C-alpha cells in the first residue's frame, strides 16, 4: 500500500509528553470559574451596597416607582459618620489599641510596643476610617495585609556593605467588597480565612508587574493589551459616572491589565523542579497528594493567562475581615443602615408626595393644544400638571379645588420618624435635632453607650482589630529586619511559636470619654470628703487611692505616681507601727513592690520612680 498520501497527515500527539502550558490554562480557567460563581452569589449584596452608598452621597436609590423629586438628603449620612466618629474616638482613646497579656511578661511588652507603634501611625487611622465606612454600609469590611520592606545598602566596617531598612512595616489596604469573592460555603460568623479560597480583582499597569519584586511569568504576552470591558468594570464605572468619569481613560502609552489573585489551598504533586497542580478528582484524594497554600494570579477575564504560580510566602491567606451585625442565615453581615433603609425611603416618599401635592395646589393645570408647536422651555407647570388637549378645554377638563394634605402627611411623617428612632443608633439628641443646640459629648456618650455603638466597638475589636494584630506579629517574626525591631524596642525581638498563648485584650471598650472622666472625678471628690471624716488609721491610704484615680482621669499619671501608697504619717498609729517594723528606720530594707533596696538618699526620690498600684479593699 502506497504511503504517498500519509505524508500530509499531522503526526499523532505523544501522550507521554503533555503540553507544558496545558496545566497553566486549566488553572486560569478554574480561577475565572470560581470568580464567576462567587460573583453570582454576591451580586444582590453588591446591589444593596450601591443603594446604601448612593443614599449616603445624597442620591435617591433607583426603585420601581418614580416620584418627581429625585434628589434627597439622607439620614444615612448621619448614621454612618456619627458611628465612625464615635468608634474612632473610642479606638484611638487607648494607647496601645491592643493590649497583650500572657505568661511571658517581656514578650507581652514587646508585642504591645510593636502594635502601638504601627497602629498609631497616620496611615492606619485612614485605614480605620475607610474600614468603618465599609462596615457601616455593607456590614463586612475586607482588607489585605502585606509586609512592606525597603532596604538600602550602606557601607560598613572593613569595606563590607550591609543593608539598612528605611521602610519596614505591615501595610493594610481596604478593598472594595465588589472586587473580592470568597468561599460560598462560609457560615455566619466565620472569617474569610476559614474558607477554601479568596479571589481579589484589581486593574493595574503592566509596568507595575514588570517592576515588581514578584517574578511574574509570560508578561510579554500581555504587552499592548488593555483591560477587558467586563461587567465588573461597568459596575465601577456606573458609580464613577456620578463624578463625571464614566470609564477609565485610555492612553497609547500605558497598558492596563485586569488581574485576579487567588489565595487558598490547592492539591499539588511535589516534584524536583516545581509544584504541579492536580485536577483529577481520583488523583486528588490519593496518596502522595499535598494540599498547600498556593498563590495564583491570572491576567484577563475573557482570555485568562496565568502569570504567577507559587507557594504563598506568607504561609496563610493574608486577608482579614470585620463584621458588624452577624446574620443568622448568611455569611454576609448587616450594616447599620440596612435595617432602616426602607423606612428612610418611605419617609422620603411621603415628603416628596406632599411637596408634589402642594405644587399641584399652587399651580393650576397647564393646558396646551397638542396640535400646536410649543416652546416647552418657556412653559412652567407643576409636576404631572401639563395636559395636552384638543378642542374646547371646558368640554375636556373638570377643574377641582385644592386639597388638604399637611395634616395626614405630617402625621405619617411623625410615625415614620418614631420608627427610625427605635431601629437606629442615631437619635434626635445625637443628630443635634432635639432640644440641645448641638450634639454634646454627654448626649453622645449616654445615648450611644446605652444603645448600639459600644456593641459595635466590641464587634470591631473581636472580628477585625485582634485578628489583624495577630497577623501583623506573625508577619513581623517572618519578614521584619532585625534593625527595625531594635529601633522600636531597643533590643532584639523574642520569637515565640506559642503565639496563641498570648491574650490580646482590646483597650477601646474600656476607654473613658471626657464626659465619663469628669463624672468619675466628681464622684471621687465626694468620696474623699466622706472618707476624711472616718476615724481609721488607713484613711490616708484610701484618700491616696482616690487621688490617684483623679489624677489618672485628668491624664496626669506622673502626678498619680508621686502619691506613695505605702507612706503613713509618723504621728498616726499606722505610722508608728511602720517605724517599729523597720520600714522607716533600718537602712537597705526593700521598700517597694519591686524589691529594690533603698538608701537614705534614694528614699527621697522614691516618689518620682515608683508607679503605685491601686489598693484592693478587703
pLDDT classification of 171: cutoffs 50, 70, 90: very high
Which residues are bridge partners to 277 per DSSP? 268
Residue 62 has pLDDT above 70, yes or no: no
Cβ atoms < 10 Å from Cβ of 323? 23
- Reported as a single tens digit per residue, the pLDDT across 270-300 is 887 788 888 888 888 888 788 899 999 999 8
DSSP characters over 229-257: --HHHHHHHHHHGGGT--SPPP-SS--EE
Span 79-97, average pLDDT: 75
- Reported as a single tens digit per residue, the pLDDT across 359-389 is 777 777 778 877 777 777 777 776 667 778 8
Q: What is the mean pLDDT of the chain?
A: 74
- Which has more pLDDT, 62 or 349? 349
pLDDT of residue 361: 75
Q: Is-contact 113 73, C-beta < 8 A?
A: no
Residue 599 has pLDDT above 60, yes or no: no
pLDDT classification of 68: cutoffs 50, 70, 90: very low
Residue 310 has pLDDT above 80, yes or no: yes
DSSP characters over 553-616: HTT-HHHHHTS-TT---TTSHHHHHHHHTTTTTSTT-B-STT--B--HHHHHTHHHH--PPPP-
Nearest partner of 472 among 102, 165, 173, 145, judged by Cα: 145
Best mean pLDDT range from 317-331, 496-510, 602-616 = 317-331
**DSSP code for 370:** T
Q: Is-contact 460 87, C-beta < 8 A?
A: yes
Range from 21-30, 76-85, 547-556 carrying the lowest mean pLDDT: 76-85
pLDDT classification of 332: cutoffs 50, 70, 90: confident
- Reported as a single tens digit per residue, the pLDDT across 528-563 is 888 888 888 778 778 888 888 888 777 776 776 676
- Reported as a single tens digit per residue, the pLDDT across 93-142 is 766 667 787 777 788 888 888 888 888 787 888 899 899 888 888 888 99
pLDDT of residue 173: 93
Positive or negative: CA dihedral 257, 263, 268, 274: positive
Span 482-503, average pLDDT: 80
pLDDT of residue 492: 86
Q: Is-contact 32 314, C-beta < 8 A?
A: no
Span 439-463, average pLDDT: 62
Q: Is-contact 424 351, C-beta < 8 A?
A: no
pLDDT of residue 322: 92
Burial pattern 274-285, b for ≥16 Cβ within 10 A else e, equals: ebebbeeeeeee
pLDDT of residue 11: 46
Q: Is-contact 49 337, C-beta < 8 A?
A: no
- Which has more pLDDT, 422 or 469? 469
- Which has more pLDDT, 132 or 252? 132
Which residue's C-alpha cell is 488523583?
Answer: 283
Nearest partner of 199 among 263, 266, 135, judged by Cα: 263
pLDDT of residue 552: 77
Span 332-346, average pLDDT: 74
Phi, psi of 149, rounded to the nearest 5 degrees: -140, 130
Q: Is-contact 428 417, C-beta < 8 A?
A: no
Amino acid at each position: 500500500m502506497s504511503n504517498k498520501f500519509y505524508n500530509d497527515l499531522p503526526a499523532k500527539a505523544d501522550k507521554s509528553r503533555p503540553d507544558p502550558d496545558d496545566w497553566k490554562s486549566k488553572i486560569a480557567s478554574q480561577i475565572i470559574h470560581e470568580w464567576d460563581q462567587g460573583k453570582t452569589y454576591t451580586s444582590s449584596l453588591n446591589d444593596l451596597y450601591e443603594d446604601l452608598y448612593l443614599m449616603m452621597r445624597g442620591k435617591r436609590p433607583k426603585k420601581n416607582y418614580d416620584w418627581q423629586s429625585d434628589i434627597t438628603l439622607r439620614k444615612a449620612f448621619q448614621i454612618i459618620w456619627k458611628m465612625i466618629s464615635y468608634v474612632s474616638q473610642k479606638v484611638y482613646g487607648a494607647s496601645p489599641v491592643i493590649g497583650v497579656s500572657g505568661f511571658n511578661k517581656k514578650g507581652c511588652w514587646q508585642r504591645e510596643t510593636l502594635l502601638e507603634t504601627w497602629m498609631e501611625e497616620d496611615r492606619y487611622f485612614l485605614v480605620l476610617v475607610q474600614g468603618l465606612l465599609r462596615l457601616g454600609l455593607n456590614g463586612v469590611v475586607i482588607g489585605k495585609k502585606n509586609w512592606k520592606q525597603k532596604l538600602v545598602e550602606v557601607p560598613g566596617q572593613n569595606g563590607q556593605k550591609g543593608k539598612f531598612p528605611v521602610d519596614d512595616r505591615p501595610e493594610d489596604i481596604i478593598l472594595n467588597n465588589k472586587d473580592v469573592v470568597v468561599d460560598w460555603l462560609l457560615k455566619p460568623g466565620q472569617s474569610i480565612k476559614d474558607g477554601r479560597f479568596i479571589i481579589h480583582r484589581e486593574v493595574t499597569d503592566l509596568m507595575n508587574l514588570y517592576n515588581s519584586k514578584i517574578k511574574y511569568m509570560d508578561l510579554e504576552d500581555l504587552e499592548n493589551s488593555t483591560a477587558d470591558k467586563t461587567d465588573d468594570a461597568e459596575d465601577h464605572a456606573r458609580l464613577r459616572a456620578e463624578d463625571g468619569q464614566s470609564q477609565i481613560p485610555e492612553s497609547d502609552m500605558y497598558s492596563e491589565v485586569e488581574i485576579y489573585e487567588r489565595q487558598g489551598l490547592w492539591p499539588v504533586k511535589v516534584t524536583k523542579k516545581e509544584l504541579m497542580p492536580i485536577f483529577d478528582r481520583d488523583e486528588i484524594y490519593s496518596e502522595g497528594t499535598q494540599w498547600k497554600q498556593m498563590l495564583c494570579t491570572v491576567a484577563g477575564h475573557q482570555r485568562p493567562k496565568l502569570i504567577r504560580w507559587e507557594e504563598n510566602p506568607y504561609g496563610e491567606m493574608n486577608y482579614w475581615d470585620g463584621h458588624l451585625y452577624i446574620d443568622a442565615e448568611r455569611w454576609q453581615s448587616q450594616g447599620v443602615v440596612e435595617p432602616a433603609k426602607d423606612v428612610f425611603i418611605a419617609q422620603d416618599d411621603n415628603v416628596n408626595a406632599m411637596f408634589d401635592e402642594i405644587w399641584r395646589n399652587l399651580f393650576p393645570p397647564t393646558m396646551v393644544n397638542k396640535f400646536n408647536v410649543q416652546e416647552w422651555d418657556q412653559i412652567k407647570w407643576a409636576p404631572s400638571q401639563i395636559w395636552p388637549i384638543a378642542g374646547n378645554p371646558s368640554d375636556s377638563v373638570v377643574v377641582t379645588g385644592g386639597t388638604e394634605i399637611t395634616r395626614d402627611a405630617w402625621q405619617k411623617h411623625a410615625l415614620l420618624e418614631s420608627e427610625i428612632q427605635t431601629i437606629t443608633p442615631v437619635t434626635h439628641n445625637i443628630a443635634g435635632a432635639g432640644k440641645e443646640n448641638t450634639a454634646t459629648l454627654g448626649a453622645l456618650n449616654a445615648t450611644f453607650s446605652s444603645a448600639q455603638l459600644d456593641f459595635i466597638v466590641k464587634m470591631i475589636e473581636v472580628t477585625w482589630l485582634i485578628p489583624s494584630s495577630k497577623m501583623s506579629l506573625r508577619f513581623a517574626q517572618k519578614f521584619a529586619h532585625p534593625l527595625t525591631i531594635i529601633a522600636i524596642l531597643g533590643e532584639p525581638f523574642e520569637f515565640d511559636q506559642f503565639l496563641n498563648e498570648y491574650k490580646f485584650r482590646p483597650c477601646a471598650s474600656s476607654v473613658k470619654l471626657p464626659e465619663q472622666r469628669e463624672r468619675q472625678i466628681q464622684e471621687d471628690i465626694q468620696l474623699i470628703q466622706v472618707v476624711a471624716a472616718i476615724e481609721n488609721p488607713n484613711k490616708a491610704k484610701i484618700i491616696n487611692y482616690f487621688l490617684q484615680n483623679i489624677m489618672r482621669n485628668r491624664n496626669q499619671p506622673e502626678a498619680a505616681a508621686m502619691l506613695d501608697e505605702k507612706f503613713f504619717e509618723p504621728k498616726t498609729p499606722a505610722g508608728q507601727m511602720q517605724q517599729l517594723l523597720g520600714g522607716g528606720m533600718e537602712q537597705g530594707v526593700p521598700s517597694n513592690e519591686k524589691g529594690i533596696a533603698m538608701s537614705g538618699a534614694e528614699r527621697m526620690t522614691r516618689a518620682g520612680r515608683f508607679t503605685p498600684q491601686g489598693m484592693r479593699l478587703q
